[in-house]
Amino acid sequence: MKKTLFFFLIFIAYTAQAQLYRWVDEKGSVHYTDQPPPPNAKKVEEKKFSGNVVETDKLPYGVQQAVKNFPVTLYTGDCGPACTLGKAYLVKRGIPFSERLPGKNQADFEQLKKASKDNLIPQLLVGKSIRLTGFDEAAWASALDQAGYPKTNPLPPGQQAKPSQADKTQQPEKPVAKPADSGTAKPY
């Protein structure tokens, strides 16, 4: 019994550091082996695997599909409670989203102008076809439900889909004029 366990553990350790070769022989046949191919092999590809080779995503499959088909973009900035509540709602619900700051980044301002005629914030884009101006929880909930996002945070307690600053590599450019201080949605 101890020998069997020993060999089993050796096998697991060996496969945890597995190496796989894909190559084509002179007849055009494709081979997959754990041994290096012969010198006359063509199109040799070497794959190294260590540990768990199965990639997993923290988001459930349904959320991954919603993100793929209907990505969420939030245009926000210094617009008071409407922006704060809108962003908090997305975080609470566990919605992955890109946050754009048209007041701090000229590129984000240009994207807002393309996405909207009125240039008001907060503005929620769900996919390419749903655009909501101002924060209205019922309207946002309906749009996100329609896109296939879950009604409650699908992540374990204590884990949130954090808002990501879109295009983190971009440096903030020349600030754009600040919005007026009136109404729910603020103009840019």
Would you tell me how many other CB atoms lie within 10 Å of the CB of residue 116? 17
Order across the sheet with 30-33: list the strands: 30-33, 19-24, 42-48
* The total number of structural domains that make up the chain: 2
Tokens coding 141: 């909930």
* 9 occurs within a structural domain: no
Domain that holds residue 176: 61-187
* 5 occurs within a structural domain: no
What per-residue string of b and e applies to 17-41 under the rule 16 or more CB within 10 Å gives b? eeeebebeeeeeeeeeeeeebeeeb
- Looking at 54, 83, 103, which one is the last position of a domain? 54
Q: 35 and 81, same structural domain? A: no
For the chain, what percent of residues have pLDDT higher than 70?
A: 68
* 1 occurs within a structural domain: no
Arithmetic mean of pLDDT over the chain: 75
Q: 147 and 177, same structural domain? A: yes
Answer yes or no: is pLDDT of 138 > 90: yes
Q: Is the peptide bond before 122 cis (omega within 30 degrees of 0)?
A: yes
Q: 144 and 109, same structural domain? A: yes
Q: 152 and 92, same structural domain? A: yes
Q: Coil, strand, or helix at residue 72?
A: strand
Q: 78 and 36, same structural domain? A: no
| pTM beyond 0.85 | no
Q: 73 and 48, same structural domain? A: no
Q: 41 and 103, same structural domain? A: no
Answer yes or no: is pLDDT of 171 > 60: no
- Domain with residue 138: its CATH number is 3.40.30.10
Tokens coding 13: 């350790």
Q: 131 and 47, same structural domain? A: no
Nearest to 130 by CA among 117, 118, 140, 120: 140
**Given phi > 0 = left and psi -120 to 50 = alpha, else beta, which region is 83?**
alpha
CA distance 102 to 178: 9
